[in-house]
Amino acid sequence: MKNTLLQKIQTKSAVIGIVGLGYVGLPLMLRFSAVGFKVIGFDIDPGKVALLNSGNSYIQHIEASSIAAARAGGFEATIDFSQALKADVLILCVPTPLNKFREPDLSFVIDTVEELLPHLRPGQLVSLESTTYPGTTDEELLPRIESCGLHVGDDIFLVFSPEREDPGNPDFSTRTIPKVCGGTTPACLEVGVALYSAVIDQVVPVSSTRTAEMTKLLENIHRAVNIGLVNEMKIIADKMKIDIYEVIRAAATKPFGFVPYYPGPGLGGHCIPIDPFYLTWKAREYGINTRFIELAGEVNSNMPDWVVSKIVGALNDRRQAVKGSQILVLGITYKKNVADFRESPSVMLMEKLRALGAEIAYSDPHVPTFPVMREHHFDLRSIELTAATLSSFNCVLLATDHNRFDYPFIKANSKLIVDCRGRYQEPAENIVKA
């Protein structure tokens, strides 16, 4: 089985099935398609499937022309999971959120695997890319797959290879970001490395799926903890009347031993605010309290409240109350230059300010209409930034610093700017840093 599958991968005759066609799965599909593999995409959203099959894209930074090219190369999207029988490789790129108790929610992974089980066959490779706690592949996927009578490592192959997408980053692509891969058995690892080596410049094999799962968590916890540190430093510096951004720029001139991280209004995206809690949950099984990770999470979670307090103070200095004030939020995505608003601290700020009685509006060139969200509800559209519009607001909150904003123009026409991103370096009467 192994040699047959390796031969199919080498000759690009293997059919690649990608389950979950979102921010991770769609770029991966494009990469496999670009090098000549036949790709079947699976998603539970009929709207997305129809859009892709018509050669269009629903992710802003992915061009419709790229989807059309993949379609011309044989790519097809479907909601019919029985088509998985045709695939030699099944790559799972589904969400792994937290539930309301901040515990791992593996329902998307488990439901996907259960849906695929009747269509698994000898000679396939299953790869999980969704971020999760160490042990998920061994404890959740392996027994389910083997319950079908398939022996992992002989009949079918199982790996964990965490996604490393960075939407909006022009310096890295799916091809150039090194890919970590861990296998359930040595044979599984061999097949997994062969698969990803066909489309990724550098594949990094590790000794087990647990190691690969922990690697992804360390990467994101590293960022979360350092962002928590610099957010705390920002609060201290603010009390001392010191510009934290000037401090960071100065510290970054040290050519060794320092990596610059930048503060913000809180954490956003589907990884950094969520992934650390996957490890804290699993660590309890071993009697370990992850105090360092949880402290960073506490600091980062409190940043929206701190920003709101800065807005309250800035308005108060101008003899204005938050209640009844008109506040314009610039940028509602979690990260600049992308359209992804998952876990965006900007949206949390909008909620908190509205709860205090402020009248909220927003401007974001990447989000023309406020999206339908499960937990946040605003009936708003992005407004055009004109001199008259800007001057009509009591406060402009710079929450996400998209490059498409005209910052000198915004500064010249706003009564008050609360800057969460350090975009304005020079002091000004109408700028308050938060």
Confirm if 101 and 132 have CB atoms less than 8 A apart.
no
Distance CA 40, CA 75 (A): 6
- Three-state DSSP string of 38-57: EEEEECCCHHHHHHHHCCCC
DSSP 138: I
Angle at 176 between CA 174 and CA 177, to 5 degrees: 70
Identify the H or E element spanning 410.
Answer: helix 407-413
Angle between helices 275-283 and 291-301 (to 10 degrees): 140
The residue from 188, 271, 395, 420 that is catalytic is 271
Residue 271 annotated to the active site: yes
| Closest to 235 in 3D by CA, of 430, 399, 434 | 434
What is the Cα–Cα distance from 179 to 161, expressed in whole angstroms? 7
In whole angstroms, what is the distance from residue 193 CA to residue 211 CA? 15
> Both tokens of residue 362?
């927003």
Which distant-in-sequence residues (6+ apart) come within 8 Å of 337 by Cβ? 168, 366, 402, 403, 404
At residue 318, φ and ψ (nearest 5 deg) are -105, 20
Annotated catalytic sites, by residue?
271
